[in-house]
Amino acid sequence: MKQLGAWLLATMLFCLLLPAVGQAEEITYTGVVNTKSLHLRKEPNASAKVLNTYARGKEVTILENDGTWCLVQIGTKTTGYMMTKYLDIKPNYEHLGWGRTVADGTVLNLRSGAGSGASVVYKTMSGAALELIQEQGAWYRVRLEDKFGWVEKRLVTPLTDEYSPGYTTDDHTEEITAARMKAATRSYGSAATVSRNEGDFTYSISYPTTGISAADERISAWTQETLKTFETDYNEFHQGTPGASYTVEYQSISIDSRYKSVLLFGEYRVKDWTCETLLALNLDAASGQIIPGENLFSADPMRAMFCLDGLAEKLMSQPTDGYAAVPDTGWLKYAVLGRDGVQLFLPAGQYLPLGMGTRQILMRYSLIGECMGLASESIRSNIRTIDPSKPMIALTFDDGPSDETDRILNVLAAYDSRATFCVLGNKVESYTGVIKRTIAGGNEIASHTWNHKKLTTLSAAGIRSQLERTNEIVAQVTGGYQIKVLRPPYGSFNKTLRSVCADMGLVIAEWEIDTLDWNNRNANKTYNNIMKGARDGVIILCHDLYKTTADAMERAIPDLVNKGYQLVTVSELLSFHKDGAQPGTVYARVDPANKVTGK
């Protein structure tokens, strides 16, 4: 591995794999059915025609794997699709685990043998995930997608997680290239270009002059250092190779009079491999400062990450090939402010499999604007607001999460509405994705105790145990979410419960309207009970356990919105009470006479 300069510690560089380079070997996998029986389908779809069904232990050959479906071969002629999660997949070569080199901007050489004198068979940039397949002294033999080679052990940090071989190629976002970036928006700054069109190594570097000294200095340093880096690489490793080039294109966006953003995308091409580099800047023109991507969501970073988690699932259905689909704050390194939302650029080989290329996710302001701490009217104009002079209703859902919760979340999101989900603590770990999605949508998680105990039958210590266990498991799976509302089972409360809740900072949410969905299990009756009881300030009791309740919500939520009701969380509703939300107090509604309308 060759050091390319300290400045690269802050700048990501990586290479896209191309099949003509390096040692390509045939990669084969065997899958073993791990469930009682598994369908072989004609297409990768749960409703596709079933070609055959195979019992536990059946071995199949994996031809393709996108993380959700495998194209498999059985025998010499039969092919079809099986779900990845029901197959134990093993490579037909030794597998020691997964490793990764630090993304520090250094070049990683894959060699033909276990020694520094062996020839370089493939070149990429640090940060990529590697499958470790053999050890020999101070060297690992590794697989990098369809390339095999040897790497020094000191450069590799083994990963503790295991992943499924293969990577997804679902095209939910466009791959970012210099050609596409050339056509990007340039609404801020004065354009400048430096170029050299003669010789075997040419370059064309376009960049903006922003008038903000901190940004212009960063851009200048970045363009000079990246050019020096790739020109040095060319002279040392590819001297005399014609057609080598380095191209930089950019986008620049003026969000409003104060906030701006710049993204530069560099693409180095030599022989048949490509190396890319990014610089992302968010600018506060008022202060002259650069805002790091991870600081854009200072108001509610947890919710922002859960929003990103849901969007990332569209790219990767499950962790594959050494990469995890669960985002962390590192994903925000290349986040920039856009017109409609935060544009998140994901460099291939660092957060996603190399074969996917660099991808962009748009986090719309309507989804994540409430998480941002920027004083931007342009961003705020995209954010949902509550008008206290207009009627509002708090829908609440008890006894979940369940398989029906997602349907209710879907319709709430479609109508820019919120609700409160009163969860049982003993179900939370089985539905962590649903919990995170609930929070990501701006909804509220409330406690419905650990296991639906009638709290009026318990001592103060017993009550506290039920509530603390639930609070703790929700905080654990979310990274710190704080519950503020209790919905006591059966609506039962007494002086002891109120005292414990006051001490724990919890308000008690009763209800004024019971939909009786738990009793009637009838979508029409549930819908009618909601519409008949609808009025300003009420809390409505529902349960997200039943298909019939989800069916009713798909009618009731749009109809309530069309009638002018704002659907809010319990905490949002109580925030308009003239006395505020008082811990230990029982609320079934906020009487319009007690509502503050001048907020």
For residue 573, the one-letter residue type is L
What is the band of 217 on the pLDDT scale with cuts at 50, 70, 90? very high
Shared-domain flag, residues 20 and 43:
no
pLDDT at 420: 98
- pLDDT over 60 (residue 12): no
Query: Is residue 84 situated within a structural domain?
Result: yes
How much is the average pLDDT of 277-297?
A: 96
Average pLDDT over residues 459-468: 98
Q: Which residue, 331, 364, 383, sits at the end of a domain?
A: 383
Instruction: Pick the more confident residue, 288 or 26.
Output: 288
Averaged pLDDT, 490-500: 97
In 113-243, which ranges are E strands? 120-125, 129-136, 139-144, 147-152, 157-159, 190-196, 201-209
User: Using 50, 70 and 90 to split pLDDT, how confident is the model at 129?
Assistant: confident
pLDDT the model gives residue 349:
78
Question: Are residues 295 and 188 located together in one domain of the fold?
Answer: yes
Same domain, residue pair 455 and 584: yes
82 found inside a domain: yes
> Is 165 a member of any domain?
no
Q: What is the largest CA-CA distance in the chain?
A: 86
CATH number at residue 546: 3.20.20.370
Q: Do 139 and 263 belong together in one domain?
A: no
Query: pLDDT per residue over 70-104, tens digit each?
Result: 899 999 889 999 998 899 888 878 889 899 887 77
In this structure, the answer to whether residues 118 and 224 fall within a common structural domain is no
Q: Is residue 163 part of a domain?
A: no
Whole-angstrom CA distances from 221 to 3, 8, 245, 420 are: 18, 11, 19, 50
Domain boundary (57, 74, 91) is at 91
Say whether both 49 and 140 belong to one domain: no
* pLDDT tens digits, one per residue of 220-245: 999 999 999 889 889 988 888 899 99
- Host H or E run for residue 358: none
- Res. 174 pLDDT band, cuts 50 70 90: low
Domain assignment of residue 216, yes or no: yes
Q: What is the edge-to-edge ordering of all strands in the sheet holding 69-74?
A: 50-55, 37-41, 78-83, 69-74, 59-65, 29-33, 87-91
441 shares its domain with 374: no
What's the pLDDT at 18?
34
Are 381 and 360 a contacting pair, CB within 8 Å?
Answer: no
Report pLDDT for 171: 42
Say if strands 273-284 and 289-291 run parallel, antiparallel, or are unpaired. antiparallel
pLDDT of 311 reads 82
Please report which confidence band the pLDDT of residue 3 belongs to, taking 50, 70 and 90 as the band edges: very low
Q: Quick check: 305 pLDDT over 50? A: yes
In a domain, 133, yes or no: yes
pTM comes to 0.78
Instruction: Label residue 120 by pLDDT band (50, 70, 90).
Output: confident
The pLDDT, as a whole number, for residue 274 is 81
pLDDT score of 16: 36
Total domains in the fold of the chain: 4
Residue 80 and residue 102 in one domain: no
Q: What local confidence, expressed as pLDDT, does residue 126 receive?
A: 75
* Burial label, 428 (beta-carbon count in 10 A; 0-12, 13-18, 19+): buried
- To which residue do tokens 């969000």 refer? 255
Q: How confident is the model at residue 124 (pLDDT cuts 50, 70, 90)?
A: confident
Among residues 392, 391, 365, 367, the alpha carbon closest in space to that of 379 is found at 365
247 within a domain of the structure (yes/no)? yes
Burial class from Cβ neighbours inside 10 Å (0-12, 13-18, 19+) for residue 442 reads: buried
For residues 359 and 504, state if they share a domain: no
Indicate if 436 and 487 belong to the same structural domain.
yes
The rounded distance, in Å, linking the Cα atoms of 566 and 418 is 9
Domain that holds residue 258: 170-383
Contact between 360 and 346 under an 8 Å Cβ cutoff? The reply is: yes
Predicted local confidence at residue 4, as pLDDT: 38
| 277 and 372 inside one domain | yes
Residue 176 pLDDT greater than 90, yes or no: no
The values of phi and psi at residue 284, to 5°, are -105, 100
- The domain that contains 18 carries what CATH number? 2.30.30.40
Of the pLDDT bands very low, low, confident and very high (cuts 50, 70, 90), residue 173 is low
**Which CATH number does the domain housing residue 362 bear?**
3.30.565.40
pLDDT > 70 fraction of the chain, expressed in percent and rounded: 92
Query: Is 129 in the same domain as 232?
Result: no
**Contact status, residue 42 vs residue 48, Cβ threshold 8 Å:** yes
Estimate the crossing angle of helix 460-478 against helix 432-440, to 10 degrees.
Answer: 80
In a domain, residue 409? The reply is yes
Most confident of 49-63, 96-110, 118-132, 513-527: 513-527
Mean of all residue pLDDT scores within the chain? 89
Residues 6+ apart with CB under 8 A from 545: 399, 400, 402, 404, 518
Last residue of a domain, one of 48, 73, 91: 91
Report pLDDT for 9: 33
Nearest to residue 438, comparing CAs of 415, 468, 413, 414?
Answer: 413
- pLDDT above 90 covers a percentage of the chain that reads 66
Q: Which of 267, 261, 298, 266 is nearest to 282 (CA)?
A: 261
- Which pLDDT does position 14 carry in this prediction? 37
Residue with token string 């710190």 = 480
